[in-house]
Every structure is written in C-alpha cells, then in structure tokens.
Amino acid sequence: MSDLRFGEGSSKQIDKFVGTGLGSLKAHRELKPGVSVGELLNNYRQRALFHCALPFVLINQEPNIDNKGFLAIENVNLAGQILNDLKDVSPKYIWLRDSFSDMRSGVMSVPFAILLKKLLGEDRAKILGLFGQGQVLENDKQSVIDAFTQSGALADSIKLTKDIYETSLSQFRLVLSTQFYVYAEKWIGYKLQQLGDLI
C-alpha cells in the first residue's frame, strides 16, 4: 500500500472526510419528522466516518469497508451518537442535564424517529407539537418520557444501540490481539453498562 501520510493522496482523503462530516451536520438539521430511522442512521454514519477516518489516514491505512478495524471504530462512534441521544430522553438522566435539546431545537434523532413511528393520532400530534418550539415545559417533560417508555421506543432504541456496540466488538475480535481486545471489551462493556442505566 502506498504511503498516504504525507502525500497528495492523504490530503485528498482528509478533505473528503472533512467535507463528509460537515455535510452530514448540515443535512441532519434539514431532516424533518417523518424521516426514516434508516436515513438518520446513514446520516449518523457519515458523521462517524468523519470522526474516525482521519486517524486511519495518518497511520497509513485506508478507511474502507474491507478494513474491519475501521468498521469497528465507526460502529462504536455511531452507537455513541445514539447513546447521547438517549441520554436526552432517558427518565434516569432527564433531571440531571439540559434535557430534550434535540426536540427543543427541532433536530431529529434516532430515538425520536423510532417514537414517532410508534405513535398515532392525538398522541403523535401532541409530541410533534413540542418539536422545535425552543422549550419543553416541566409538565410536558413527563408526557414525553411516558411516551418513550410506554410505546417501547426507549427499549427499541436501547436494543438498536446495544446491537451496534456488539457488532463493533465482534469486528474488534477479528483484528486485535487478545491483549488489546481485552481493552476494547472493557471499553464497550462500560458503554453497555451506561445503556443499562438509562431505564
């Protein structure tokens, strides 16, 4: 493989990943209620690519779908983005942070897309009425939390995130020695514990 660290090829790859990441941020803000979970995940993956591709370029490895190490780190980053979304709507975290930031700002998230897919009629209209309004009043917070928990959207979002973390672990197993795999296992184990603490 040619040395990409200091050559023109490296510069072009870095420019490409920066452009991809910035483009995904802009595209994310333009996604509206009704967007599919799959489309959001694709957008998140573009951002994950931006975050984890640069180190691979700098160590002279090509970040592509044939590189299992790259895919493992990409999946960890993807799952981390959804985990952060979940903390925004978790009944355990909701009173500990500036909650509902995505909903207040009118920015779609994977958990919110899963919730909207499950809700119908007045329940769906009520949640949509809070989207992008700049604030979620205290008496509405519990209604949103109840919608996430009672509809199963919170549990489904947690399962999706857990599955992505476990996929990354299986990919790490293919490329890491036992010595280094132990660290990856502990790292992802910590993330899975955070997922378990969301409910």
What's the whole-number average pLDDT of the chain?
A: 84
- Single out the residue of 95, 124, 98 nearest to residue 112, CA to CA: 124
Long-range contacts of 116-120 (CB under 8 A, 24+ apart): 116/33, 116/34, 117/37, 117/153, 118/151, 118/152, 118/153, 119/147, 119/151
Q: Mean pLDDT over residues 164-171, rounded?
A: 95
* pTM score, whole prediction: 0.84
Pick the CATH number of 8-196 from 2.60.40.420, 1.10.600.10, 3.10.450.50, 1.25.10.10: 1.10.600.10
Structural domain boundaries in the chain: 8-196
Token readout for 140 is: 């509405």
Between residues 127 and 66, the one the model is more confident about = 127
Span 9-67, pLDDT tens digits: 656 777 777 788 788 888 888 999 999 999 999 999 888 877 777 676 666 666 666 77
Determine the pLDDT at residue 2.
35
Determine the pLDDT at residue 9.
60
